[in-house]
Amino acid sequence: MSMHRRVLTLVSLALASVSAVPALAQGPVVLPIADAKARVAVEREIARAAARGLPVQPLIAKAMEGVTKQATGERIQVAVASAAKRLEQARTLLAPSTSVAELTSGADALAIGVPGAMLKQIRAAWPVERSVAMPIDVLTELVARGIPARHALEQITVLMARGATPSQIASLGTSVQADVAAGLAPDAALEVRARGVMSLLPSPAAAAASAPSGQRRP
């Protein structure tokens, strides 16, 4: 085997190994915003967010949403800047949570008009190691269906305290969705569906007895 051929083979296999890791094959994100000035501004906004430790994926998605919706460059720029601001607010309100899912959910809730203090209340309802992304998503959805935020928060935090799983809380959101689509008043739908989920949960005494000490509530 000649030295030349061996080196060639080695180089080919090294390239094959590198390209087998798809993440390494990705180049920098190029935003297809036609307005060059707006594109630079958006990319700077995303870079600033990254420098502040915020997740950039939701911001890229927000910019791409604008592109797909054929928004002007200026509007995309404003939307991305607003999204970055909401992500930062969510991070403060949900501290110490830092997961992308939780921050994104928090930012979406703020975008739809959920008061920031309610995000704090949801964060406080579960131990910090447990993600509150789903309860926040359900709160957002219930508010989007026309239920007053305070009423929705009350039902969700009661379910959280009673030991409902994220899926059980999510099922509340989808059931209310379906009921409202079928013509039921949003408040009535929430009340009846919350009762339904509650009936699946153990009694407060049993939940308190079986919960880990960090989850027990006075």
Partner 1 sequence: MSEGPDLLIERVRSTLREAPGTVPDPRRVAQLLSVVWESPEPSALRRWLDAWRVPSLSGVGATVVAGIALFAGFLTRGAVDERRAPEPFAATGSQTGEFPVQFASATLGETAPVLTQFVLDDAKAQRVSLVGDFNDWAAGATPLTRLESGVWTVSVPLPPGRHVYAFLVDDTLLVTDPRAPKSGDADYGREGSVVMVFAR
**Cα(59)–Cα(112) distance, integer angstroms:** 17
Q: 81-110: b or e for each residue (b if 16 or more CB lie within 10 Å)?
A: bebbebbbbbbebbeebeeebbbbbbbbbb
Give the shortest CB-34-to-partner 1 separation in angstroms: 14
Residue 18 touches partner 1, criterion: CB under 8 A? yes
List the x/- string, 176-215, binding to partner 1 by CB under 8 A. -xx-xx----------------------------------
| Residue 26: strand, helix, or coil | coil
Q: Name residues contacting partner 1, limited to 143-182 (CB under 8 A).
A: 144-145, 165-167, 170-171, 173-174, 177-178, 180-181
- Contact predicate 60/31, CB 8 Å: yes
Using the structure block, give the residue that is written with the tokens 């110490």. Answer: 96
Token pair recorded at residue 77 = 């720029």
By CB under 8 A, is residue 22 in contact with partner 1?
Answer: yes
Asked if 5 touches partner 1 (CB under 8 A), the answer is yes
Quote the CA–CA distance of 140 and 172 in Å, as a whole number. 12
Distance of CA 2 to the CA centre of its chain: 56
Which residues in 80-119 contact partner 1 (CB under 8 A)? 82-83, 101, 105, 108, 111-112
Size of the site for partner 1 (CB under 8 A): 64
Distance CA 114, CA 118 (A): 7
CB of 205 to partner 1, least distance (A): 25
How big is the chain, counted in residues? 218
Report the residue number, 74 or 205, with the smaller CB distance to partner 1.
Answer: 74
Q: Which residues bind partner 1 (CB under 8 A)?
A: 1-3, 5-9, 11-13, 15-16, 18-26, 57-58, 60-62, 64-69, 71, 75, 78-79, 82-83, 101, 105, 108, 111-112, 131, 133-134, 137-138, 140-141, 144-145, 165-167, 170-171, 173-174, 177-178, 180-181
